[in-house]
């Protein structure tokens, strides 16, 4: 489904049309799950973040005014819910580590999972428009033009935001690189 169709569904749902809301949620669920899966290390956390995102969309749709594209709003909610799931997962992991007297074997730690967690922490420290632009480009594979459309800014602004976001991320993830 193209952006205008989602935007039309979102506007219709925002005016109280439950059928439009149901179609909207069913349409975006696979995309939301893919987004959350790219940001979170395990399937259960991604599914939880997906459900939280869809619930937030359902609850928040009356406030959606269409000032930005629906997908921009959706990506922002999904990113925030993934961050929350990540934070909750870290707390649960810390609680489990406190309960387990032995230290985990470092060889069993997934480098990819560790990198994702570090990336989520680093993204949380960026300005929202920078974090969103770099996540849309690098995690979701959108083109500069698509991101510009979603963020409703010129392509040059998107490129600038992504460049600055990558610079800041590099500094946060590789402190010696700064």
Tell me the two tokens of residue 154: 């010129």
The domains of the chain are located at 1-104, 125-178
CA distance 37 to 29: 12
Q: Tell me the per-residue pLDDT of 114-156, one tens digit each, with 9 for 90 and over.
A: 556 677 777 778 888 888 888 888 877 778 988 888 788 999 9
The predicted pLDDT at position 33 comes to 92
pLDDT at 176: 66
Q: Which residues of the chain have a pLDDT value below 50?
A: 1-4, 96-113
What burial letters (b/e) apply to 135-166, b meaning 16+ CB within 10 Å? Answer: bbbebbebebebbbbbbeeeeebbeebbebbe
Domain 125-178: which CATH number of 1.10.10.10, 3.40.50.2300, 3.60.10.10, 3.40.47.10: 1.10.10.10
In CATH, what is the architecture of 1-104? Orthogonal Bundle (1.10)
* Number of helices and strands in the chain (H, E): 8, 0
| Under 8 Å between Cβ of 110 and 41 | yes
CA angle 128, 129, 131 (to 5 degrees): 65
Q: What's the rounded Cα separation, in Å, for the pair 125 and 147?
A: 20
């Amino acid at each position: 489904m193209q952006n205008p169709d989602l935007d039309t569904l979102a506007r219709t749902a925002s005016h109280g049309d439950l059928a439009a809301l149901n179609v909207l949620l069913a349409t975006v669920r696979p995309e939301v799950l893919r987004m959350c899966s790219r940001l979170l290390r395990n399937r259960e956390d991604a599914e939880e973040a997906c459900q939280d995102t869809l619930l937030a969309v359902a609850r928040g749709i009356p406030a959606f005014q269409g000032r930005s594209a629906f997908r921009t709003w959706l990506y922002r909610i999904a990113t925030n819910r993934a961050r929350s799931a990540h934070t909750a997962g870290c707390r649960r992991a810390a609680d489990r580590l406190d309960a387990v007297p032995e230290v985990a074997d470092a060889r069993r730690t997934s480098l990819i999972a560790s990198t994702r967690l570090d990336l989520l922490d680093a993204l949380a420290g960026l300005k929202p428009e920078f974090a969103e632009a770099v996540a849309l480009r690098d995690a979701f594979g959108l083109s500069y033009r698509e991101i510009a459309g979603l963020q409703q800014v010129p392509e040059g602004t998107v490129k600038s935001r992504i460049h600055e976001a990558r610079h800041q991320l590099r500094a946060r993830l590789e402190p010696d690189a700064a």
